[in-house]
Amino acid sequence: MDLQVIEREGQRVLTTAQVATAYEIESKSLMRNFQRNKEHFNEGTHFMALTGDALKQFKGERQNDVSLKFASVLYLWTEQGAFMLAKSLSSDKAWAAYTLLTSQYYKLSQQPNSEVPALPYDPERFLALEHRVKEIEAQLQLVTLHSGEQKRLQRAISERVYVVCDVKARRPAYFADLYRAIKKRYHVDSYRDVPQCQLQDALRFVQQWGGAHV
């Protein structure tokens, strides 16, 4: 993975454009996903937001980078931030790219003969980090469908109802039954509240639904 190295505050970071390219997604889509899940990200840990003079200086150092030309705020993503973005996107391409970023970019290169003292193993710190990861995973379980995913589920529902019911006058009852079945299955008040991580399961459920009126 050929990426221009950017270091900030003693660590390697990536611009939004670089992460988007690696994850094979448009920068706008990546930022929309970030904005939807922003409460799970911490500035300083997952990203750095450059504005004002800091942004001007950064642009001045990279005058050939057209992706920075109109940016009023520039996000730089740490290794933990890249992990969170891949986690929230939950796509195979993003996870594969994150693995490469970890091994080929974020991991600082070392000279063959350099001696780097091993970090002491701290069981309490390890357990605290493990607990934090579980907390983050639990939080991501609560992320609900975004507008595009809601529309995708709606289309699947409509297609299924038209398959199982060919009588136009009876279709409203089928729609009501299917929406009710979804809310019951995922314990939500609306199909919009289906957890994002269960979208594929919801689509399979809709595809297999036979209809209470059949």
Residue 155 forms part of a structural domain:
yes
* Predicted local distance difference test score (pLDDT) of residue 202: 94
* Predicted local distance difference test score (pLDDT) of residue 179: 95
Residue 80 forms part of a structural domain:
yes
With 0-12 / 13-18 / 19 or more C-beta atoms within 10 angstroms meaning exposed / middle / buried, residue 71 is: middle
Structural domain ending residue among the three candidates 141, 163, 186: 141
Q: Around Cβ 80, how many Cβ atoms within 10 Å? A: 16
pLDDT in tens, 26-77: 989 999 989 988 888 899 889 999 999 888 888 888 777 777 777 888 999 9
Residue 10 forms part of a structural domain:
yes
Q: Is the pLDDT of residue 163 over 90?
A: yes
Q: Which domain holds residue 178?
A: 147-208
Residue 120 forms part of a structural domain:
no
Dist CA 179 CA 119 (whole Å): 54
Residue 124 forms part of a structural domain:
no
* Predicted local distance difference test score (pLDDT) of residue 8: 86
Dist CA 81 CA 136 (whole Å): 12
135 with 184: CB under 8 angstroms? no
Residue 14 forms part of a structural domain:
yes
pLDDT in tens, 75-134: 999 988 888 888 888 777 777 777 778 777 776 544 444 454 555 656 677 677 777 777
pLDDT in tens, 144-157: 888 899 999 999 99
What count of residues does the chain have? 214
* Predicted local distance difference test score (pLDDT) of residue 182: 95
DSSP letters spanning 22-82:
HHTS-HHHHHHHHHHTGGG--BTTTEEEE-HHHHHHHHHHTTT-GGGTT-SSEEEE-HHHH
Structural domain ending residue among the three candidates 122, 141, 160: 141
pLDDT in tens, 176-211: 999 999 999 999 999 999 998 889 999 999 999 987
Structural domain ending residue among the three candidates 121, 141, 161: 141
Q: What's CA 208's distance to the chain center, in Å?
A: 28
Q: Are residues 13 and 82 in the same domain?
A: yes
* Predicted local distance difference test score (pLDDT) of residue 123: 66
Q: Are residues 105 and 157 in the same domain?
A: no
Q: Are residues 33 and 82 in the same domain?
A: yes
DSSP letters spanning 158-189:
HHHHHHH---GGGHHHHHHHHHHHHHHHHT-S
- Residue 7: which residues within 8 A CB-CB, separation 6 or more? 13
Residue 129 forms part of a structural domain:
no
Q: Are residues 105 and 11 in the same domain?
A: yes
* Predicted local distance difference test score (pLDDT) of residue 116: 47
Please give the tally of structural domains in the chain: 2
* Predicted local distance difference test score (pLDDT) of residue 108: 56
Q: Are residues 43 and 105 in the same domain?
A: yes
- In 3D space, the residue among 8, 113, 109 whose CA is nearest the CA of residue 54 turns out to be 8
Q: Around Cβ 17, how many Cβ atoms within 10 Å? A: 18
* Predicted local distance difference test score (pLDDT) of residue 206: 94
Dist CA 38 CA 164 (whole Å): 40
Residue 167 forms part of a structural domain:
yes
Q: Are residues 99 and 194 in the same domain?
A: no
* Predicted local distance difference test score (pLDDT) of residue 143: 81
* Predicted local distance difference test score (pLDDT) of residue 160: 94
Q: Are residues 73 and 156 in the same domain?
A: no
Q: Are residues 91 and 33 in the same domain?
A: yes
The helix or strand, by DSSP H or E, that contains position 19, with its residue range, turns out to be: helix 16-23
Q: Are residues 96 and 34 in the same domain?
A: yes
Q: Are residues 104 and 190 in the same domain?
A: no
